[in-house]
């Protein structure tokens, strides 16, 4: 799936007439016809697809990369870790930059960095160059991801309109997760490992060219003025101490979780990095509570929908994300699939995720609300993992796990869309970037925790030369554990998720809570693209 298809018709941003204090007059053509939200949605979904395929595309090529560039058995992991650590560490900074410097500007810079660093990675002839390129690619992703979500959430009015847009975006994004494995296998087998990096550069070029034409200039040009007008009295500007502490703290936590299983939890790279990261994050929260203009306003954590999205998203990525490792191990180590065959084995997952995100999630969000959508997504995801565990057998076949793969794929699409609908609900436009970054950071940490935990669970008690039956027993145990965690997450969402349907949350809150001075200037942005900075 190279480009997003099926962009829904009838998507028009809510037309809000300019009001005093708005970020400047809207262009005449836009004021009369409304922004062309269909092309904007296609561009944003396509950019998210580029990020999503990277989750799995490099794993397939890693053995060839290690052989050709001379990586050691342990150092090749840095091809993945360099991206993960920098991406996770810079997300909060990227989210605030989208709010303050403009989402359109950050979108173009992030996508440019992503494409250029991917090109350098494909041309690399030295391990150090490739690792450096991957680190820059992670920085580009950290700028790009929050900008995409901010543009999406400020271009579509909260409620059914945004839910439909998120369903398209979620379908393409979740399909990218599965498509990455297919592309990785095909490109590595046919063109060599370099192609898994070149593809990002090739995909990024048209998106960068299209961005100035499709994204309203107000999303960048008016950002600085809008941000200044919305700051509380006495604000000091960009929170550099907070940005530094958040970046180092989160990066150390992700680094420790990524390196702990490889280096050992008793090492400086394992528990040492984790403890240091947690201490710095605590210091970051103290700094944020005392600064006039924080990187992450702590009151955001009082938003019930965002808080639930963070907790449930942690579980979704920790338990759900582990299935890619478990299933790949089963297909290649037990069933004997080649990398190319294993890649194609993920096709049903990709197709099902498109259906789950594009056709199932939005109706549930619109009719039953965020709580029901989160519950359904995680429950279906957990059911799929349980079915895959049931289908695994040392003498089994691919057909026995296909039903579980399809159900799992439906849950991937449903859960992905619901999570970001929850993260955006009730958040004012001027803070959509940092809110999405906070939610994504929780998910990234969850993914790192989950991979470490479930890989350890799958490999418990295995010797140097385990039998297929022993390998399957470990994979089943990890799969059942992950399924149980997802079901627990589903009930957490059901118990603590917002009860109001998505779209009524923000209105309900404004009727019962006082509006702070910063929110007053931003009130009209909730249902308008005019302030999409």
| Residue-wise pLDDT tens digits, 209-224 | 998 888 877 654 444 4
DSSP 256-297: HHHHHHHH-TTSIIIIIHHHHHHHHHHHHHHHHHH-SS-SS-
Q: By C-alpha distance, which of 211, 228, 250 is closest to 104? A: 211
* Rounded CA separation 211/139 (Å): 19
pLDDT digits (tens, 9 = 90+) for 220-257: 444 444 444 444 443 445 677 888 888 888 888 888 88
Residue pair 281/250 in contact by the 8 Å Cβ criterion: yes
User: Can you read off the two tokens belonging to residue 83?
Assistant: 């991206």
- What pLDDT, on a 0 to 100 scale, did the predictor assign at position 446? 84
- What pLDDT, on a 0 to 100 scale, did the predictor assign at position 454? 83
Residue pair 154/103 in contact by the 8 Å Cβ criterion: yes
Report CA Rg, the chain.
22
pLDDT digits (tens, 9 = 90+) for 390-430: 999 999 899 999 999 999 999 988 988 888 888 877 778 87
- What pLDDT, on a 0 to 100 scale, did the predictor assign at position 237? 57
- Residue 12 backbone zone (phi > 0: left; psi -120 to 50: alpha; other: beta): beta
- What pLDDT, on a 0 to 100 scale, did the predictor assign at position 232? 42
Buried-exposed string 272-307: b where 16+ CB fall within 10 A, e elsewhere: bbbebbeebbeebbebbeeeebbbbbeebeebbbbb
More confident site: 383 or 85? 383
* pTM assigned to the model: 0.74
- What pLDDT, on a 0 to 100 scale, did the predictor assign at position 155? 86
- What pLDDT, on a 0 to 100 scale, did the predictor assign at position 228? 45
Q: Torsions phi, psi of 522, nearest 5?
A: -105, 0
The answer on pLDDT for 135 being more than 70 is yes
Q: By C-alpha distance, which of 267, 233, 273, 282 is closest to 253? A: 273
Q: What kind and span of H or E run contains 533? A: none
* Rounded CA separation 301/423 (Å): 11
Angle, helices 402-424/432-458, rounded to nearest 10 degrees: 150
The answer on pLDDT for 133 being more than 80 is yes
* Averaged pLDDT for residues 446-475: 82
Helix (H, G, I), strand (E, B) or coil at 124: coil
What average pLDDT is seen over the chain? 78
**% residues pLDDT > 70 (the chain):** 81
* Averaged pLDDT for residues 472-483: 92
The answer on pLDDT for 73 being more than 80 is no
Buried-exposed string 62-78: b where 16+ CB fall within 10 A, e elsewhere: bebbbeebebeeeebbb
* Averaged pLDDT for residues 372-390: 94
pLDDT digits (tens, 9 = 90+) for 308-325: 888 888 998 888 877 878
């Amino acid at each position: 799936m190279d480009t997003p298809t099926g962009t829904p018709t009838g998507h028009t941003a809510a037309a809000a007439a300019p009001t005093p204090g708005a970020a400047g007059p809207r262009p005449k053509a836009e004021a009369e016809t409304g922004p062309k939200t269909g092309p904007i949605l296609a561009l944003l979904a396509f950019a998210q697809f580029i990020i999503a395929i990277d989750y799995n595309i490099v794993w397939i090529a890693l053995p060839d990369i290690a052989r050709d560039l001379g990586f050691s058995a342990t150092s090749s992991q840095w091809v993945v870790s360099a991206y993960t650590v920098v991406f996770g560490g810079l997300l909060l900074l990227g989210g605030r930059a989208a709010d303050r410097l403009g989402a359109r500007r950050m979108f173009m810079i992030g996508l440019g960095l992503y494409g250029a660093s991917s090109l350098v990675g494909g041309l690399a002839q030295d391990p150090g160059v490739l690792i450096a390129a991957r680190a820059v690619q992670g920085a580009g992703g950290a700028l790009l991801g929050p900008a995409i979500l901010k543009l999406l959430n400020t271009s579509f009015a909260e409620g059914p309109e945004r839910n439909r847009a998120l369903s398209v975006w979620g379908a393409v994004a979740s399909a990218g997760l599965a498509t990455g494995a297919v592309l990785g296998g095909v490109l590595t087998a046919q063109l060599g490992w370099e192609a898994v990096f070149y593809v990002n550069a090739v995909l990024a070029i048209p998106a960068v060219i299209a961005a100035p034409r499709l994204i309203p200039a107000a999303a960048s040009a008016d950002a600085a003025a809008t941000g200044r007008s919305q700051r509380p009295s006495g604000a000091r500007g960009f929170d550099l101490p907070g940005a530094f502490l958040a970046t180092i703290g989160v990066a150390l936590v992700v680094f420790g979780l990524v390196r702990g299983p490889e280096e050992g939890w008793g090492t400086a790279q394992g528990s040492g990095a984790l403890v240091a990261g947690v201490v710095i994050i605590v210091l970051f929260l103290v700094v944020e509570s005392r600064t006039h203009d924080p990187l992450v306003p702590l009151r955001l954590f009082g938003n019930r929908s965002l808080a639930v999205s963070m907790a449930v998203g942690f579980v979704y990525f920790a338990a759900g994300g582990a299935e890619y490792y478990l299933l790949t191990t089963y297909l290649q180590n037990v069933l004997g699939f080649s990398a190319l065959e294993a890649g194609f084995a993920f096709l049903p997952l990709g197709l099902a995720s498109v259906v789950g995100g594009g056709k199932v999630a939005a109706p549930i969000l619109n009719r039953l609300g965020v709580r029901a959508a989160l519950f359904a997504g995680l429950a279906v995801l957990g059911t799929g993992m349980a079915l895959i565990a049931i289908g695994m057998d040392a003498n089994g076949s691919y057909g026995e796990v296909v039903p579980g793969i399809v159900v799992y794929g439906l849950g991937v699409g449903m859960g992905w869309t619901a999570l970001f609908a929850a993260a955006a609900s009730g958040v004012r436009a001027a803070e959509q970037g940092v809110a999405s970054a906070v939610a994504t950071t929780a998910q990234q940490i969850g993914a790192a925790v989950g991979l470490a935990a479930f890989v350890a669970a799958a490999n418990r008690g295995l010797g140097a030369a385990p039998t297929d039956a022993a390998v399957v027993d470990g994979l089943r145990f990890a799969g059942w554990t992950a399924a149980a965690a997802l079901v627990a997450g589903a009930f957490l969402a059901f118990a603590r998720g917002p009860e109001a349907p998505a779209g009524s949350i923000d209105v309900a809150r404004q009727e019962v809570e006082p509006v702070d001075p910063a929110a007053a200037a931003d009130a009209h942005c909730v249902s308008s693209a005019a302030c999409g900075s």
